[in-house]
Structure 1
Amino acid sequence: MSNEAETQYNPQCGVRRTIFSDEYDFLTKIESVCAKEDGIHFFVRTWKDRIATVRITFLTPSVFRFVMVPEMTAKSHRQTVVEDVPESEFETKNAEFTENEDLYIYETNQLSLHFSKNYWEMSIYQNGKLLTKEQAFDTNVDNRWKQLPTGFRVDASGKSIASFEQFVLFSDEQFWGFGEKFTHFNKRGQRIECWQKDALSTNTEDSYKSHPYFTSSRGYSVLLNTFTRSSFDMGASSWISYQMGSDDPILDYIFLAEESKDYKKLLQQYLQITGQIPMIPKWAFGFWMSKCSYMSRKEVEDVVADAEKFGIGIDVIHIDGWQRQDMSGVWEWDTERFPEPEEMIKELNKKNIHLSLWNYPYLQEDSPAFKELAERGFFIKNKEGHPAMFKATADSEFLCACFDFTNPEFLAWYEERVKKIVRMGVSVIKTDFSEAVPEDVVFYNGMSGREGHNLLTYLYAKNIYTWMKEICDERGELPMLWGRSGYVGSHTIPAAWAGDSSSDKASHSAILQAGLGMAMSGVSFWGYDLGGFYNTGYIGNEERPNIEDYLSSVQMGLWMPLSRAHGKTPREPWQYGDMALKEVKKWINFRHRLVPYLYHTACQSHQSGIPMIRPLVMEYPKDPIAKTQNLSYMLGDALLISPGFDRDEYELYLPEGRWQDIESKEVYEGMTFVHIENKAFADGGTSLRVFQKEGTSIPLFAQKEVLHVPAQLWKQEDLEFMTFQKKDVD
């Protein structure tokens, strides 16, 4: 019996239609299908009577790759995030392909993919239950598609130039991930763009490290397998569908599922495909001191001397302006301001202080080195074949060009310069910028700006990290990067910081959202500028942050995986008065005592892929309230951190079990809300509370004052344990 019914109002013509222009096309019906070694190939008729090939390949029993190739695609130099999947015991031939009257079915013992014969629609079942499916019927009252099904966009000649996919949005579905986004942790209802930007702040959707990867509360995740500009409409345009797409003419994504909705296990599957998290040095978990910028060797030495005088332990000191401004990017010390840099590094190392240096992937037009390097073809070019010129920031005085990290000759030249600096004893390279390359440029390997813009941010850091690793391996050390920009795969290039943050405490919660998103994207070693990078005064000038904002930022930052103070004005704690000095000194000292726990948690990240900071939903996936928490987080598996931000009072949710305030030792029952009141620092208050989970034991250095992370391996007798067991509260 037909489901069609006679209608008196506005009868429709019975064909698929769309409210969008004819430049769009989408899949409508399978014409034929065949099984090959690399999976199942569907040949699908489109709305505009074209043919597209859809290939489905199972990578593991719970992971598959979806690739749609329209019959005509625009010429591209596309590169994918994942091409060769690491070997596993599973082979594509282990998946079974069958059909019945209505469906083609392609399945493993964990996932079953159903493809309708009547119209194009893929449904994904897990253990017999619908996990999700493509959304083929998001239409309006005129039966016109207002959200397009799986398809592509074409140019005037009919060639595909962009692609998109659409899934059903379930009524209670939530989404997390997308890398570093300074918006609400749950991305449902948001529009997300993955196009790396110099965000210029840390409280908008613009970001330095967007990742086209997300996790659904239903127990699956998706990686859009492209470096091109991509966008995600996660229910902003419709309550019943979400859409993802990119400027890639080929739709290519990887779908991962986890039967128990264990988001840690889901993340582990993702890291098996995209790469594991390397370990970083122990000293990195100490306290980093920086400013934009220390401008001379004397200034660096004065800061170190002041830190010693005030009893502030510094493990890393960072220099932005170590090169001449017009030579920034060519890896040459300005020896007038920094004479005998190797000697300076040795003197710092004697004090257990490591040196970090800033780097810049651009070269400004007035540089004495510009002409020669341009003639050698080391810069990304415009369409006329000349260096593509642009401003690094809106207020830049000079135009600059960007080094081309796809040019082998440039890489050979650059490698030697990087290694020369690292061999001097430099421990960290800060890879700043790289997000400003225009769309209308041409890379050495033929990529356009659209294809290479995001990829550049990854190649820039990856190459420098690889060369650092070669030198560090020689001296028995681990390499360390401090990267502002990046992409999927950046978790394999530790570490990262959140860019140009505001000192205003109202922005600190936005920074935390980004950190939680990074954690759900597989990035473990992350931090932000303690004290805030900038602070705008009432008349528009740069000013030091007020004491409350400064202390709020520093306190939360010292409970992050990595802790670097940095700003356009001084961020040394002795610059903010006796009260601030006393508080920060106490916090830094406890940070140093906590390093054994931090290092243990970092080893967990390296070995099992579980990030150091964890959203509550990651640690408590079965707790429906934990899924809604975005203003608190776990640091490892034992500590729950609750920053106050700009709140005088609030309700804090504690998950199952019992929890002990590590300062007051008061014990709270879990699975309930606790009322928290914050007092100003000036009144003896705090902006952050830390709770230890029942049944855990946290290793601390036993010494009550620890100024540096010990270089040697610590022994059992060096430690004491902060233990919260049931017997302590019975």
Structure 2
Amino acid sequence: MKREILTLALAFGALVASAQTTEKINIEDGERWWGAATGLGLSMPYGGGNKAEIDQRKYNLNNQTSPLLISSKGRSLWCSGPFKMKAEGKQINLTSDKGSFELQTYGKTLRDAYCGVMQKHFPPTGSVPPELFFTRPTYNTWIELVYNQNQADVMKYAKGIVDNGFPTGVLMIDDNWQQDYGVWEFRAEQFPNPKAMVDSLHDMGFKVMLWVCPFVSPDSKKGRDLAKKGYFLKRKGTDEPAVVAWWNGYSHVYDLSNPEARDYLKHEFADLQQRYGIDGFKFDAGDQCYYSEDEVDVYDGKSYDVAQTQLWAQLGSEFSYNEMRACWLEGNAPLVQRLGDKDYSWLGVRQLVPGMIAAGLQGYGYTCPDMIGGGSFTTFYGIDPDKFDQKLIVRSCQIHSMMPMMQFSVAPWRILDKHHLDICRRYAAWHSQLGDYILSEARRMAKTGEPMVRAMDYSFPGQGFEGIVDQYMLGDKYLVAPVVTSADQRDVRLPKGKWRDDTGKVWHGGRTITINVPIERLPWFERL
């Protein structure tokens, strides 16, 4: 009997081992690779001395992931499921427990590789998020109010936008407007008349979005009631609802593979829209780490980790005004993405351009580079308003101004002096002036699937731009070279041809130039 058990165990072990597939990419001389996770942006491209490692089933590094790698020499790798990746030196090693690998050559350039794999696995949908995201700034109450979201201060924040001459746009009311996690009703003590508030914000020229998540407090009446209906993930091997640890405590989590649970949650959000005039929702969380097959069971028996992340994004796409931070697949869907929370630091500023390039090369082109100055509220703690690094805030604002979207959270009029506030106001207006162009690029992406923010090597192959990660192309027209350090000068690598900069000066390309960049200036170049 023991021998039979041992034989079965060995056979099962062999079956599990055989289910795991592996792939090894030998990086060619001069070749560079991008992909796997937006959160690895600053480690890209792989092959130039950068190191990177990720297990897509367990982690997403606070952002979007995709089972995709693409090369500057036209090669691509696609996996039919999540993978583990380790990139180091001249090799990228990959394994997958749930997918098979497809390594192909689509041409000779990064653009060839991206377009080839994109057309096959996430082709353009023809749909684009609402134009206001691209033509006006977005404002989020998070850094100003944190967990003290309330009607009086939301209105004060909105009035500050208008009184200080910033363009109105989308306004997001963040976490803790609700009575409890999963209890999607305004706190009466904090929001005495939410319908009047939303009406007033509409009259001021704002669209209004609310923060939501897939968590439900287990000690709430709703948590107990929905647990009886089987709407949550189950503890592994039991029929009991799981309690999952996340950044705000311990909660039940909706199992979106259960169609009744999904429809119930969708109806709740739609009901908020109908009763209060809410325009849409910031869909936070959805990270695959909360749906581990090792810890929970799911309704359909198969939708673990990244599958639930994708279901959360698909629910988000049911609402035209949406914002995601976590995503799996769904490339080219009309979803507004946001880079994960960055620290209020120069490192956070340096992460923005590589992160945006990485997002676009995974198909997440409708993306916002986090919040101006950073979205990690803990890094704002204890700072005297008179001691903010005003240059950092301005440089971050400048980067946002020539991105598909820009988002304010910390109020510039609270922390900046008149000179620096004037600069931020000017770049918020500049973003709106570019609105028609940015919107046209978004609509072009909806047709072609090509990213709006492009790596230099994507647009100018064969000119030695593979390792350039602090400048980028916004569509075909603008080469943008923002300042991402505390210095007031930078090097710019210009492609061949003639280029006119933001001051009107014409440069001959095919070389590197060093330019002075006073705080008032964002360097950009237009190809002649």
TM-score under structure 1 normalisation? 0.64
Q: Quick check: 1:416 aligned with 2:267?
A: yes
2:375 is aligned, of 533, 553, 571, to 533
Q: CA deviation at 1:678?
A: 3.7
Residue of structure 1 equivalent to 2:512: 673
Letter in 1 for 2:235: N
Residue of structure 2 equivalent to 1:503: 344
Q: Quick check: 1:168 aligned with 2:26?
A: yes
C-alpha contact (below 8 Å) 1:505/1:552 kept by paired residues: no
C-alpha contact (below 8 Å) 1:267/1:522 kept by paired residues: no
**Structure 1 residues 687-707: Cα deviation after superposition (integer angstroms, max 9, x where no partner):** x3111111xxxxxxxxxxxxx
C-alpha contact (below 8 Å) 1:196/1:208 kept by paired residues: no
Letter in 1 for 2:278: V
1:191 is aligned, of 31, 48, 52, to 52
Q: CA deviation at 1:425?
A: 3.2
Report 1:183-582 matches (<5 A). Answer: 183-188=42-47, 189-195=50-56, 206-226=61-81, 228=82, 230-236=83-89, 239=90, 241-248=91-98, 251-261=99-109, 263=111, 266-267=114-115, 269-277=117-125, 278-285=127-134, 286-292=136-142, 293=145, 295-321=149-175, 323-325=177-179, 327-383=180-236, 384-393=238-247, 396=248, 398-423=249-274, 424-435=276-287, 436-437=289-290, 438=292, 439-447=294-302, 452-466=304-318, 468=319, 479-527=320-368, 528-534=370-376, 541=382, 545-566=388-409, 570-582=410-422
Q: CA deviation at 1:668?
A: 0.9
Find the residue that maps to 1:628 and give its secondary structure.
Answer: coil
Residue of structure 2 equivalent to 1:10: none
Residue of structure 2 equivalent to 1:148: none
Q: Which runs of 5+ in 1 are unaligned?
A: 1-71, 75-153, 200-205, 469-478, 695-730
Output the CA distance in 2 between the equivalents of 1:329 and 1:596: 38
CA gap of 1:322–1:350, structure 2 versus 1, over 3 A, is: farther
**Structure 1 residues 297-330: Cα deviation after superposition (integer angstroms, max 9, x where no partner):** 22222222222222111211110136435x2224
More deviation, 178-187/588-597 = 178-187
Q: CA deviation at 1:260?
A: 4.7
Q: CA deviation at 1:262?
A: 5.9
Output the CA distance in 1 between the equivalents of 2:170 and 2:110: 37
Residue of structure 1 equivalent to 2:491: 651
C-alpha contact (below 8 Å) 1:573/1:580 kept by paired residues: no
C-alpha contact (below 8 Å) 2:138/2:171 kept by paired residues: yes
1:591 is aligned, of 419, 431, 449, to 431
Q: CA deviation at 1:513?
A: 1.3
C-alpha contact (below 8 Å) 2:332/2:446 kept by paired residues: no
C-alpha contact (below 8 Å) 1:271/1:522 kept by paired residues: no
Output the CA distance in 2 between the equivalents of 1:574 and 1:191: 39
Letter in 2 for 1:592: S
Output the CA distance in 1 between the equivalents of 2:333 and 2:377: 32
Alpha-carbon RMSD = 2.6
C-alpha contact (below 8 Å) 2:235/2:295 kept by paired residues: yes
Q: CA deviation at 1:159?
A: 5.2
Letter in 2 for 1:212: P
Letter in 2 for 1:440: E
Letter in 2 for 1:402: V
The structure, 1 or 2, with the larger RCO (C-alpha pairs under 8 Å, 6+ apart) is 2
1:660 is aligned, of 494, 500, 507, to 500
More deviation, 433-442/257-266 = 257-266
| Structure label with greater radius of gyration | 1
CA gap of 1:268–1:161, structure 2 versus 1, over 3 A, is: closer
C-alpha contact (below 8 Å) 2:256/2:312 kept by paired residues: yes
Residue of structure 2 equivalent to 1:631: 470
Output the CA distance in 2 between the equivalents of 1:673 and 1:288: 35
Q: CA deviation at 1:496?
A: 0.6
CA gap of 1:413–1:537, structure 2 versus 1, over 3 A, is: closer
CA gap of 1:324–1:198, structure 2 versus 1, over 3 A, is: farther
Output the CA distance in 1 between the equivalents of 2:58 and 2:155: 35
C-alpha contact (below 8 Å) 2:72/2:108 kept by paired residues: no
Output the CA distance in 1 between the equivalents of 2:16 and 2:438: 55
Find the residue that maps to 2:466 and give its secondary structure.
Answer: helix
C-alpha contact (below 8 Å) 2:41/2:357 kept by paired residues: no
C-alpha contact (below 8 Å) 2:122/2:331 kept by paired residues: no
Residue of structure 2 equivalent to 1:690: 524
C-alpha contact (below 8 Å) 2:496/2:509 kept by paired residues: yes
TM-score under structure 2 normalisation? 0.88
Letter in 1 for 2:401: L
Output the CA distance in 2 between the equivalents of 1:307 and 1:280: 23
Output the CA distance in 2 between the equivalents of 1:550 and 1:523: 25
Letter in 2 for 1:413: Y
Letter in 2 for 1:221: S
C-alpha contact (below 8 Å) 1:535/1:543 kept by paired residues: no
Q: CA deviation at 1:194?
A: 4.3
Output the CA distance in 2 between the equivalents of 1:594 and 1:163: 47
Larger helix fraction of residues: 2
Output the CA distance in 1 between the equivalents of 2:231 and 2:383: 36
CA gap of 1:571–1:198, structure 2 versus 1, over 3 A, is: farther
1:600 is aligned, of 435, 440, 451, to 440
Output the CA distance in 1 between the equivalents of 2:379 and 2:258: 44
